[in-house]
Structure 1
Amino acid sequence: MKKVLITLDYDSSSQKVAERGFTMAKAMQAEIILLHVISNPTLYYTGYTASFIGMMPLQTKNVDDLKTVALNFLDKIKHELGNEGIQILVKEGDTVDSILEAAKDLQADIIVLGTHSRKWLENIVMGSVAEKVLKDTSLPLFIIPTKK
């Protein structure tokens, strides 16, 4: 395994996911890419997502501003991991499609992602990203449970 794609959202468990993925990649001496997908810009403006990254809801509906915030978030995680060689990537679109597309484009060997313990209604409405990625990929997955 030479490339590890670590997918992160703004959940408070993202640091845990990044650390576990980083430890695995480091043990394999693999290249590391951190990915964040902007899938629903409306959530960023309502404060739902903003609360996870310690910021106020954005006053603009400019996707470029969202990308800048996401890049800063990933850069912060990269610095906390202590490895400046980590690549960061922000994509926009459907979360599952964007993860799979990034894995293919980057020729990743494994995808690391966290799975949240959400309420049953949220799972019905939003679905499970981990479950959908698992269903649609031929790559190995390293799924980190992030139950609080």
Structure 2
Amino acid sequence: MYKKILVAIDGSDVANGAFETALQLAKAEKAELLPLYVVEYPNIYDPGIGYDLTPIYEALRAEGDRVAAEADACLKKEGIDGKARVADKFPSIRPTASQIQDVADEFQADLVILGTHGRSGFKRLMLGSVAEAFIRQSTRPVLLIPQKATVEPLAKE
């Protein structure tokens, strides 16, 4: 049923739960899996502020590369076809949900899997919700994995 699955990853427990679900589904469906890390720049970023943001940029990019490398190691270990990717639109800052949509379209994903913190009220208003924003614009099927969901890892060490 699914041949191409995209899963958003960021190294958080919530995203790791979504990644475990994506691994299991990709293995069961013999699907290609694209773990995607989107580099998120702080909302206060302004190219004209006059100070060097290179250290911040490099740290954010290094974190993305680290998380993507861990995902690639899991794909290899489980024998799942795919390669992690880091989306980085610097210096043009696009919302994370839009970047996920762009890559999902480019990859021609049959399914997009996202973890969700399940925030509500003031916390959701202040922190935003990538999952909610993505659902509002997505043209592809979406599977949300709530923070409270528990998924057994494929490989038990």
TM-score, normalised on structure 2? 0.73
CA positional deviation for 1:123:
0.5
Post-superposition shift, 1:65?
Answer: 4.3
Q: In 1, distance between residues paired with 2:120 and 2:133? A: 17
Tell me how far apart the structure 1 counterparts of residues 70 and 61 of structure 2 sit (CA, whole Å).
Answer: 14
**Is 108-117 or 6-15 further displaced after alignment?**
6-15
Query: What is the letter of the counterpart of residue 80 of structure 1?
Result: C
Which structure 2 residues correspond to residues 12-91 of structure 1 after superposition, within 5 A?
12-41=13-42, 60-61=55-56, 63-81=57-75, 82-83=77-78, 85-91=81-87
Question: 1:71 touches 1:88 (CA, 8 Å); kept in 2?
Answer: no
Contact 1:7 1:34 in 2 (8 A): yes
Q: Structure 1 stretches of 5 or more lacking a match?
A: 44-58
In the other structure, the counterpart of 1:125 is: 126
Q: What letter corresponds to residue 100 of structure 1 in structure 2?
A: Q
Which residue of the partner structure matches residue 52 of structure 1? Answer: none
Contact (CA 8 Å) 1:36, 1:90: kept in 2 or not? yes
CA distance in 2, matches of 1:86, 1:41: 29
SS at match of 2:7: strand
CA distance in 2, matches of 1:140, 1:41: 29
**2:155 paired residue number:** none
How far apart, in 1, do the equivalents of 2:72 and 2:17 lie? 13
Confirm or deny: 8 A CA contact 1:21 1:112 kept in the other structure: yes
| Pairs aligned (count) | 132
1:127-142 correspondence to structure 2 within 5 Å? 127-142=128-143
SS at match of 1:13: helix
Separation in structure 2 between the aligned mates of residue 14 and residue 68 of structure 1, nearest angstrom: 18
| 5+ long unaligned stretches in structure 2 | 45-53, 89-93, 150-157
The whole-number CA distance in structure 2 between the counterparts of 1:120 and 1:10 is 25
Measured after TM superposition, the shift of residue 8 of structure 1 is 1.2
2:116 — aligned with what?
115
Q: Distance in 2 between matches of 1:41 and 1:23?
A: 33
Change (3 A) 1:34 1:118: same
Larger radius of gyration: 2
Aligned partners of 1:78 and 1:94: how far apart in 2?
25
Output the CA distance in 1 between the equivalents of 2:129 and 2:101.
15
Quick one: percent identity of the two aligned structures?
27
Q: Does the Cα contact within 8 Å between 1:96 and 1:132 map onto a contact in 2?
A: yes
Say what the alpha-carbon RMSD is for the aligned residues. Answer: 2.4
